[in-house]
Amino acid sequence: MNFTFHYLLMANHLMLQKQLFNNIKDLKLTLGQPKVLDYLRENNGAMQKDIAKGCHIEPASLSTILNGMEKNGFITRNTDKQSRRNINIFMTEKGKKICEQIKQEFIEIESKALLHFSKEEIEQLTEYMMKIYNNLEERS
């Protein structure tokens, strides 16, 4: 069978996502929450608009995701002392523990996905994926 590029890109994404959620089903996370936790790992205390942009999630959808995360004790929302209109999102200790589990799952899944690739091939693939990302980001 001859697969198109867009089919392979979408199929790989869906398979990675399915494997992740199968591996972390005991954590009771919803779609979008692992991505937000992963973003907060590098940007703890970020504002909601920055999280939405960084995770490629619509602000209204992110609000729903954050509400669930706050309810489950993964994050807290703190008003910015310099500008009361800005709310910063911080991971709680519970969120940090779950984030670490997710990070390990990402590493495991990536290792499986890239099993028969050389280091050079992985670097080249990453470079190509970055080019695709930059091309699409310029047009959005």
Percent of the chain surpassing pLDDT 90: 83
Higher pLDDT, residue 130 or 79: 130
Q: Cβ–Cβ contacts within 10 Å for residue 33, how many?
A: 22
Residues linked to residue 89 through DSSP beta bridges, in sequence order? 46, 77
- Reported pTM: 0.84
Q: Which of 98, 104, 105, 95 is nearest to 23 (CA)?
A: 105
Domain ranges of the chain: 5-138
pLDDT tens figures, 89-118: 999 999 999 999 999 999 999 999 999 999
pLDDT tens figures, 54-92: 999 999 999 999 999 999 999 999 987 777 788 899 999
Is domain 5-138 in CATH 1.10.10.10, yes or no? yes
As to burial, measured by CB atoms within 10 angstroms (0-12 exposed, 13-18 middle, 19+ buried), residue 40 is: buried
